[in-house]
Structure 1
Amino acid sequence: MREHITEKDLFDFVFFPTMLSKEKFSYLENSGDFQDELAFFTELKKSLQTELTQQQKQLIAEKIPAYKLLNIIELYPVEQKNKRKVNGLILAAASENNNKPKVTSRTFYDDNKTYIIKVINYENTSKIFVFSTQYEVIKNFDLIISPQNLRYHIDDNTIPLELDFNVNPESIRLEFSLVKQS
């Protein structure tokens, strides 16, 4: 029987035992002929079931240039409450001044409310502020505005991103590279 056992049979014995014929399974289970090979596949199976630590992922990312380890945070708009309505007569002195430039803003949060983004649209420009609720300076990240997929790299959040046009995002994504860019 030994000569009819292939490397695939040894692999299947460890990973997919139901794929083997009863005869081959019984032979491999009771024979000591392939102890080293079965030990190898058993160790391989164990290592595949073990989750890599962040440090191990970092080391892999540093060794393989094409491998980029990203941490992605999705932010969605906060529902705005209706503005207070004024009942009754509005006098001319109380009416809005149409000469004022129009300013609008929207706030975005992630699910954990770790990050807050404030988008302020002025008449023809926008400012995008990124805040951390952990009171930290956020460094080296990309900000992606959807649905337009506008991507901006930001070195840190100490100053806002200034755009020379208005944006009206449906969502905003932050992508943090965990690999040091050289």
Structure 2
Amino acid sequence: MTTSIDKSDLQRRMHGALEALKHDLAGLRTGRASTALLDPVHVEVYGANMPLNQIATVSVPEARMLSVQVWDRSNVQPVEKAIRSAGLGLNPITDGQMIRLPIPELTEERRKELAKLVGQYAEKARIAVRNVRRDGMEHLKADEKKHDISEDERKRLETEVQKLTDDTIKEIDTAAETKEKEILGK
């Protein structure tokens, strides 16, 4: 008896949700400089909307400072404007083709807002994982109906899918908890 459910595909999709969460969390400010902080910034240059890392080099010269080396002098103003309007709470200081971004200390209110955002990102990832589980369970029931697998086989595979789901959600919770502690400074 063969089954049309592919556990490695389910695992890949669940871990995709986890990786998306980790990417989202990397973009949240914690009071320390990180190049990932500028990942969501897109700049309007050359008649297109481009990610910042495609028109400049972002580096961390100090713990509380980011530097953006713009490759083309004509793009310095658009880059500065894009950083200001990105809603990151950063105030760019332009020096020729170099833009310095001091990372201000987070206020308690902003820390709480960011911690809430972590919770929202984590819940979005949990929902994505549960949707993958639901798809897997529906495939198993359909296979049983078509007599591709037995009831016992379906139950055994459902248990495996549930375990995979539980493990992935545990990883999501751990990642969110770690980021929340980092933001709140605990």
TM-score in same-fold range (> 0.5): no
Higher relative contact order, chain-length normalized (CA < 8 Å, sep 6+): 2
Give the TM bin, normalised by the shorter chain. under 0.3
Question: Larger helix proportion, structure 1 or 2?
Answer: 2
* Higher Rg of the two aligned structures: 1
TM-score, normalized by length of structure 1?
0.22
TM-score, normalized by length of structure 2?
0.22
